[in-house]
Amino acid sequence: MDAAIKKVLSSLKARKFDPVYFLQGEESYFIDLIAGFIEEHALAEAEKGFNQVIVYGKDVTVATVLTHARRYPMMAEKQVVIVKEAQDIVDLNKELGIKLLLEYLKQPVPSSILVFCHKHKTLDKRKELGKNIDKLATSISGKKLYDNQLPEFLLGYAVEKNVKIDSTAAQALCELVGNDLNRLTNEFDKLTISLPEGETITTDLVLTKVGISKEYNIFELQKAIIQRNLFQAVKIVDYFGRNTKKNPIIPVVAFLYSFFNRLLVASSSSDKSEKGLTSVLKISPYAARDYASALRYYQTFKIAENISLLKDTDLRLKGVNSGSADEGQLLRELVYRLIH
């Protein structure tokens, strides 16, 4: 978890509330975590009826939000105003809205706790509000965690929940669910419901109770094929097979065909370094890494064989000698043969 997010949570748990929180970023989990804590703990239950206001961005303007924030609490020391889906406030990125909000941020009402939940993106740093939000409000920017950061996050979450999970089970759960932290923590919470007190969440329990819910893409399939990681490739193919509307199989095969065609060119290059392949294939240095890596796993004869397999599968997907196999089965067979 980001140090800034930890600091905010630590202050909240110590009941130190700031006048304005601007919670933004791609990862909504951290936004929900902080806003949820304020909603639950800033006021006593008896105070919430008159002093806690929750609005949604699509229903308000900046001026409306600030009207709520400038009210004084009734029979309480504080009032809370939470703006959910704040990215939908119609004038948040317009000149007048920015001007009004900046004026408030410079002199916020000390008896109000104003919380903006600005999800899926951050403010435009080219505009005055984006440039100054970190100085004028308690601000976090929740970023998506990388796959290799997920197990550590999950193990920390387990400690907070006082539940034991072994590291292999944590890794398995992260692989099955992916980096949607709301979904990941929900799946973890489901596992704990029937877990006897004092027992440990094991890999067997994870594999038995949790289905694949991670959303994969063609680039992850390509990476698994490059590394000849059959286990990962099969998981992705199974996902594609169950979601053919979102991941139509013919374009997947065409994408892989293009990759192996370029790889065949790369295999005949005298300079197989990333720099050399960047020049030969006219691709970015980042993409050249994949080709350089693939050449360590695939010799020229296998590359040519894979191109032939891809042509054959393309014809079968279009009805030529397809037999009774469906699209998912054809892709599964193809990927197995590409790797072996």
pLDDT one-digit tens code per residue, 200-215: 999 888 878 886 666 7
Whether 86 and 154 share a structural domain: no
What is the predicted pLDDT for the residue at 1? 65
Task: For residues 221-225, give the mean pLDDT.
Answer: 91
CB atoms within 10 A of CB 108: 18
Instruction: Residue 323: give its domain's CATH number.
Output: 1.20.272.10
Of 36 and 176, more confident:
36
DSSP state of 117: E
Whether 111 and 192 share a structural domain: no
* Total domain count, the chain: 3
Instruction: Residue 7: give its domain's CATH number.
Output: 3.40.50.300
Whether 8 and 132 share a structural domain: yes
Q: Is it the case that residue 99 has pLDDT exceeding 70?
A: yes
Q: Output the pTM of the full model.
A: 0.67
CA dist 325 → 194, 320, 339 (Å): 39, 12, 20
What is the predicted pLDDT for the residue at 330? 87
- Distance between CA atoms of residues 24 and 255, nearest Å: 35
Whether 184 and 261 share a structural domain: no
Lowest mean pLDDT among 17-31, 155-169, 236-250, 294-308: 236-250
What is the predicted pLDDT for the residue at 39? 96
Whether 138 and 60 share a structural domain: yes
pLDDT, the chain, mean: 90
- Distance between CA atoms of residues 23 and 128, nearest Å: 17
Q: Which of 209, 230, 256 is the last residue of a domain?
A: 209
What is the predicted pLDDT for the residue at 210? 80
Helices (H) and strands (E) in the chain, counts: 17, 7
Whether 295 and 332 share a structural domain: yes
Q: Are 213 and 183 in contact (CB under 8 A)?
A: yes
Whether 124 and 42 share a structural domain: yes
Q: Provide the residue range defining the domain that includes 188.
A: 147-209
Instruction: Residue 194: give its domain's CATH number.
Output: 1.10.8.60
Whether 240 and 179 share a structural domain: no
Task: For residues 213-221, give the mean pLDDT.
Answer: 79
Whether 301 and 252 share a structural domain: yes
What is the predicted pLDDT for the residue at 4? 86
What is the predicted pLDDT for the residue at 88? 96
Q: Which of 105, 127, 142 is the last residue of a domain?
A: 142
What is the predicted pLDDT for the residue at 200? 93
What is the predicted pLDDT for the residue at 104? 97
Confidence of residue 134 (pLDDT cuts 50, 70, 90): very high
Confidence of residue 317 (pLDDT cuts 50, 70, 90): confident
106 burial via Cβ count (<10 Å: 0-12, 13-18, 19+): exposed
- Distance between CA atoms of residues 157 and 159, nearest Å: 5
CB atoms within 10 A of CB 157: 18
Q: Which residue, among 267, 270, 269, 253, has the nearest Cα to 307 in the 3D structure?
A: 253
Of 224 and 321, more confident:
224
Counting every residue written for the chain, the total comes to 340
